[in-house]
């Protein structure tokens, strides 16, 4: 068993703000905007019941990827057109894990809790246990319509031109959007990686680590799954 963690969700580039993380570790998952034409209607930001003020982008279509049923999706699906992510994701197998992390703005009155970075930080917000081996773009194009159907709700499949280099399907019995985050940033600041990154993953924690895919071996994957069941303060070594 192994896993990969990748960066997803709203950020300061698109749509121009991050989702919030609150003092109790709860958060709001806000997807990025859809940047390409779609073959069928997709939801806008106004169609989601966000606590965050999204009035400035309310009419923009949403690239709802990763797709979580807890957030209004049909299935646990994810697709990616970028080689830097598609490469490590394609190397996973059924039963492996895909973790999703997001940069979130620290929100709340008063000082942030001891586990949180002051302004923003990177946090794991959910995971898939893969229900099947990843499907490359070439493999997807060769599937029968019936076999493609499990990915019909994915944002890349809804585009006018299918562009995903890899598609992944989560097992509903082993996949979920978390209720509270697993911090990856240290309390000293968002750009400072904590021990989950430097001790458990393949990443050095140097440079813009919060944008890179991270690989975890079996022991690291099991530890991260354990942390997902604990409050954020459990990340203290």
Distance (Å, whole) CA 237 – CA 170: 30
What is the structure's pLDDT at 110? 81
The structural domains of the chain, with segments of one domain joined by +, span 3-235
Give the 3-state secondary structure of residue 211.
helix
What is the structure's pLDDT at 222? 98
In angstroms, the Cα distances linking 49 to 21, 55, 72, 149, 204 are: 16, 12, 10, 27, 37
What is the structure's pLDDT at 224? 98
Distance (Å, whole) CA 227 – CA 234: 7
**pLDDT block averages, 10 residues each, the chain of length 237:** 97 96 97 96 95 96 98 97 94 98 93 93 98 97 95 97 97 98 97 97 97 98 97 87
Cβ contacts of residue 142 below 8 Å, gap of 6+?
A: none
Report the phi/psi class of residue 151: left, alpha or beta, with left for phi > 0 and alpha for psi in -120 to 50.
alpha
What is the structure's pLDDT at 237? 65
Using an 8 Å Cβ cutoff, are 5 and 99 in contact? yes
Alpha helices in 121-176 (DSSP H): 137-142, 145-148
What is the structure's pLDDT at 111? 87
**Can you tell me which residue has the tokens 């973790």?**
99
């Amino acid at each position: 068993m192994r896993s990969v963690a990748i960066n997803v969700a709203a950020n300061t580039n698109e749509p121009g703000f991050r989702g919030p993380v609150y003092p109790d570790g709860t958060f709001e998952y806000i997807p990025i905007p859809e940047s390409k034409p779609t073959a069928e209607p997709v939801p806008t930001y106004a169609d989601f019941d966000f606590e965050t003020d999204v009035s400035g982008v309310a009419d923009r279509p949403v690239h709802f990827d990763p797709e979580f049923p807890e957030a209004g999706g049909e299935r646990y699906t994810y697709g990616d057109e970028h080689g830097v992510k598609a490469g490590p994701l394609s190397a996973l197998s059924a039963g492996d894990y895909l973790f999703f992390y997001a940069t979130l703005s620290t929100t709340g009155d008063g000082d942030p809790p001891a586990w949180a970075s002051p302004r923003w930080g990177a946090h794991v917000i959910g995971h898939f246990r893969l229900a099947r081996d990843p499907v490359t773009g070439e493999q997807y194009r060769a599937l029968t319509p019936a076999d493609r159907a499990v990915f019909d709700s994915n944002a890349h499949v809804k585009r006018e031109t299918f562009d995903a280099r890899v598609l992944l399907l989560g097992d509903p019995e082993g996949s979920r959007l978390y209720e509270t985050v697993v911090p990856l940033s240290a309390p000293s600041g968002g750009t400072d990686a904590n021990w989950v990154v430097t001790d458990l993953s393949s990443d050095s924690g140097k440079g813009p680590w919060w944008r890179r895919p991270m690989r975890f071996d079996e022991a690291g994957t099991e530890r991260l799954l354990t942390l997902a069941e604990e409050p954020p303060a459990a990340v203290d070594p």
